[in-house]
Amino acid sequence: MEQLHALVLDFIHHYGLLGLFIVMALGNVAVPVGTELVVPAAGAAAGAGHLSSWVAVGAVATLGEIVGGALLYAIGYYAGPPVVHRFGKRAEHELARVHSYYERYGKKTVFICRFIPVIRGIASLPPGISRMQKRYFLTFHAFGSAIFCFGLAYAGYALGHNLDVLAPLLRRFSIALAVALVAAVVAFLWLRRRRGAEASL
């Protein structure tokens, strides 16, 4: 993972803001580039004069996230339901539940997922599969991405060389947060299914 992160940063070093745009777009179509580490590193590079400014880093990173997220959403929107239907009635029932969830909580979910490491790279697929309304998805995806990207770009710019010391800690925190979130979701689903089974007895 560290080697991949080094390759990503080297790519941005060679191709500048265009490279950052490509990396951020890939990071939002489930490619594990570590966007939560890439953006502050690019901000630090702007502070060192290798990129034009931290504002440009935030803007380009946000645009890359929007494009990548829209692409993954489109894949889910157009390819997801036909694939789900092939798995029969049970899968269709689950799809209906996901759709109902995104109808009620989709805006909050899309926004919050922009700040969750690892999860944020695949978070655009479920609203696409559930066919959440495009305007709501894009609005909350873009709003969350802008806060995430501009915030981390400025943090990297402000920290400068100290970022090398903090990056390993940030990486460990990101992994721990993602694992804790997945564990919480699994526990919630297990308890919900267990209560449902007990209620049916």
Instruction: Provide φ and ψ at 50, rounded to 5°.
Output: -80, -25
User: Per-residue confidence of the chain (201 residues) as pLDDT tens digits?
Assistant: 556 667 777 888 889 999 999 999 999 998 888 888 889 889 988 988 888 899 999 999 999 999 999 999 999 999 887 877 777 677 777 777 777 878 888 898 899 889 888 788 989 999 999 889 999 999 999 999 999 999 999 988 988 766 665 556 666 666 666 666 666 656 766 776 666 655 555
Taking the C-alpha atoms of residue 103 and residue 125, their distance in angstroms, rounded to an integer, is 15
Residues whose CB is less than 8 angstroms from the CB of residue 69 and which lie 6 or more positions away in sequence, other chains included? 28, 123, 124, 141, 145
Question: DSSP letters of 36-86?
Answer: HHHHHHHHHHHHTTSSS-HHHHHHHHHHHHHHHHHHHHHHHHHHHHHHHHT
3-state secondary structure of 153: helix
